[in-house]
Structure formats: C-alpha cells, structure tokens
Amino acid sequence: MKILVIGSGGREHTLCWKTAQSPLVEEVFCAPGNGGIAENATCVDISVGDFESLIRFAKDNRIDLSIVGPEAPLADGIVDAFSQEGLAIFGPDQKAARLEGSKAFAKEAMKEFNIPSAAFEIFNDPEKAKKFIADCPFPVVVKADGLAAGKGVIVTQSKQDAIDAIDSIMVQKAFGDAGARVVIEERLVGEEVSFIAICDGEHLVPLASSQDHKPAFDNDQGPNTGGMGAYSPAPVLDEQRYQEVLDSILYPLVGGLRQKGIIYRGVLYAGLMITDAGPKVLEFNVRMGDPETQPLLMRLKSDIVPVLLKVARGESIKDIVLEWEEGPSVCVVMASGGYPGSYEKGKPIDGISSAEGTGGVKVFHAGTKLDGSSLVSAGGRVLGVTALGVDLPHTIQKAYDAVSLISFEGVHYRKDIGQKALERLT
C-alpha cells in the first residue's frame, strides 16, 4: 500500500520512518516534508493547507492511507475534505478537532463530562479578564483560545504577570486571532506528563507514557516552546494512575462526545498534571505530540499501520494490543538560537551521520532543508536526537553523546532532559 504523511516536522519524519518499516507499505510520500524526510519518503511540494492539491495528489497516486501530522489542517477540516472524496485519512474530523482548536470548547467539555481539570473562566473582553485576575484568589495560567503552535500558554507568577499576559494575547495580538478569547485557569501544582491514545470513536489503544519539556531552558525556566525534548516511559505515571487516566478522563471524554454526536477517530492526546489529588487535564490535543512521537515510536515494536488504517476505515480497534521495547527512549531537541523568539535560518548542519553511527540513535529532522547538497536549518526546532537504550541513565548519556557530535551556528538545547525521571528512579 501507499502512505501519504502530511506535515513537515519531527513528528512527521518519525511517522514516515515508522510507516516505511511496515511490511504492508511499499511507498511513503510526505507533503511537504523537510531536509531529512527524503531518507524515508518521497517529499511532495504541497503545503498542509492546500487541501485541493493534496486530494488531487492522493487520487492521482492511488494513496491508500493519508496520515495528518499537525493540528492546523485538522482544525481546518482536512479529514472532512478527504472523506467527502472517498479517501482514507487518519485523524479526527473538524468537529472533533475543536478539542484542540478551541481551549474554551475543551474546558466546557471537561466540565460537562466531569473530567478532572483546573477551575477556569473564559473571556473575550480584556478588561473583564483583567478585573477577574485582580480579584482571583489563586495563581493563574492564561491561555489563548485558538491554535498557537504550542506557545499560547503563559504560566504567570503574579497578578501583574497575568495582566501583562492578557495585554500580550488579547490587545497586542501576540498569537493573532487565536487570542481573541482567553481561558484563565487555576495554576495546578505537580508534574506534567503526556498520555496519548488512538481512538476509533469508542475504543482506545493507549500508547506508552511520555513526558515533554515545554520551557526553553533547564529546570523548566523561560518561555514555553513547542517542546525541547521528551522521554518514554514516564515513571510519574505508574500503573494505577495510567488506568485512572483511561477510566476517569479519556473514556468519559470519548463517550460524552459520542452522546453529543461527535465520533472521535484519531489520536487523542491528554496533557496532564499529576497532582496530589490525582491526574488533572491541562489540555487536549488531537494529534501526536512533537517531540513525544519520537521516543514513543522508537520504543514501539508493533507495526503502527494496521491500527491507523482500521481507524481511518471506521473499523474497531478493540482487540489491538501494542508491544513496546522494555528499555527507555530519550529525545533531545536541538533548536535555533533565540527560539521560541526570533532566530536565524540557513545555518549549515554537520555531524548527523556521525551521531547516527553511534548505534541506537536516530536523528529526526524538524526544521531543516537542503540547500543544494548542504543541509541547513530552516526552523526554530531543528533536530530531535533520539536514543533507545536498556536503562535511563545510559540512554540519556547516549542521546547527549550523539548531540555533542552535531553542530550548527547558534544551536541551543536543554541539558536536563530526563532528569525528573532519574530523580524518581533513585
């Protein structure tokens, strides 16, 4: 069969790499792809928002399954567009994708279905939002309602911080139209973890646990990013909590949406805070996490294509169980200097083949492109250096040893990926 992966980041490179390993697959295409994806797929110069051209390509090339990587085309209705043309595509439809496309919609759904989360209020008037903050008895997080590439969440340390966040999002339009409304919610205390599952509209096939590192700098300092690294499994999510997430969060959400006529088919991602009172939802996403996809699919022993194909065809995945490598996997994101703020592109990248030659390491490309025969940086997050090992200390060391072999001007990366897990294991 032929696969089309839609997107251009590290998540999409990982999906191309993994689906190309399937004995069911003869050819993988990626639109638009990036400088490293060509190793595993044929890159097609079509943007993720050009639905008409993507549909024409899928028809002309007899694509058997399309897999959507990023959130924006899902929120814009790409699954609906493909489905109307009789094309098999993996991902939630536009109604279901509102879970990520609107944080207000997600919070209201959690409240309706009694899913544990933070107390919240929704505002479309900045002055009313500021008044609420002035009288609020607890520290808050301010979130742009719409899609903001993972950067629309501001964790505040004071009332003035929160008021400044309102000005940035709603008045100065730091995230454009995504900030026309804001969600202000209680700042939860605990440890964050990612729980990702594949859903057929009724049944869930959960993936292994993972943990992202959102802030730009070590010790969770600095502004939020799309993610600076991840590892799997996450020790903070033990077996009891893992089951609790399924029973009290994911199944109630899927069942509640179904009762409202929203059949959720695709990836369901719960960003969680593990608090003293148990797991609480920070956000829902409607696609694989990036960079969580990298360590997760490095650890996945099973062929992922059959489960994705069943979901795309509207079939049950009730009896599917995925197999995982026993050892952990660690991904370190190498970013452009200045990210998530302004940064320069076009910096030559050296050392990737040496890094992958160390064994048990795969370098997934996120923001790269080919400039003639040279590979150069082309985004904020440039590479996801991902290692698979037998235990966590050695796997972290393996990942950073590989990172040390790669260079480009201005490179920035966190040096503490996996430390929270190490502390829990010692």
Q: Domain holding 176: CATH number? A: 3.30.1490.20
- Among 157-166, 278-287, 338-347, the range scoring the smallest mean pLDDT is 157-166
Query: Is residue 294 domain-shared with residue 333, that is, in the same domain?
Result: no
- The residue-averaged pLDDT of 262-290 equals 96
Judge if 358 and 416 occupy the same domain: yes
Q: pLDDT grade, residue 176 (50/70/90)?
A: very high
361 within some domain? yes
Q: How does pLDDT run across 152-166, given as a tens digit for each residue?
A: 888 888 999 999 999
Is 113 domain-assigned? no
108 within a domain of the structure (yes/no): no
Does residue 406 carry a pLDDT above 80? yes
Residue 354 makes CB contacts below 8 A (sequence gap 6+) with: 405, 406
Q: In which residue are the tokens 């709603």 written?
A: 170
Q: Are 200 and 308 within one domain?
A: yes
Q: Using the 3D structure, point to which of 161, 180, 199 is the last residue of a domain.
A: 180
How deeply is 115 buried, as exposed, middle or buried, from its count of CB atoms within 10 A (0-12, 13-18, 19+)? buried
CA distance 58 to 312: 15
**DSSP symbol at 390:** S
The enclosing domain of 14 has a CATH number of 3.40.50.20
Same domain for 225 and 297:
yes
Give the pLDDT band (50/70/90) at residue 43.
very high
Considering its fold, how many domains does the chain have in total? Answer: 4
The helix (H) or strand (E) run that includes residue 186 is strand 182-186
Domain that holds residue 12: 2-91
Q: Is residue 51 part of a domain?
A: yes
Each as own residue / partner, the long-range contacts of residues 170-176 (CB below 8 Å, 24 or more positions apart, any chain) are 170/126, 170/129, 171/126, 174/144, 175/144, 175/146, 175/148, 175/151
- Does residue 46 belong to any structural domain of this protein? yes
152 and 195 co-located in one domain: no
- Residue 79 one-letter amino acid: V
Higher-scoring residue by pLDDT: 22, 147: 22
Residue 224's pLDDT band, with cuts at 50, 70 and 90, is confident
Task: Please indicate, yes or no, whether residues 219 and 306 belong to a single structural domain of this protein.
Answer: yes
Q: Which residue has the tokens 């076009």?
A: 346
Structural domain ending residue among the three candidates 41, 66, 91 = 91
Residues 200, 161 within the same domain: no
**Type of residue numbered 265:** R
Residues 172 and 224 in one domain: no
DSSP letter for each residue of 90-113: ES--TTTTHHHH-HHHHHHHHHHT
**Does 97 reside within a domain?**
no
Which pLDDT does position 426 carry in this prediction? 74
Q: Give a yes or no: residue 98 inside a domain.
A: no
Instruction: Take residue 426 and report the two structure tokens written for it.
Output: 């010692």
233: domain CATH number is: 3.30.470.20
User: 299-335 pLDDT, tens per residue?
Assistant: 999 999 999 999 999 999 999 999 999 999 999 999 9
Q: Would 342 be classed as within a structural domain?
A: yes
If one counts every other C-beta atom within 10 angstroms of the C-beta of residue 8, the result is: 27
Average pLDDT, the chain: 95
Residue 151 reports pLDDT greater than 80: no
CB 92 within 8 A of CB 266: yes
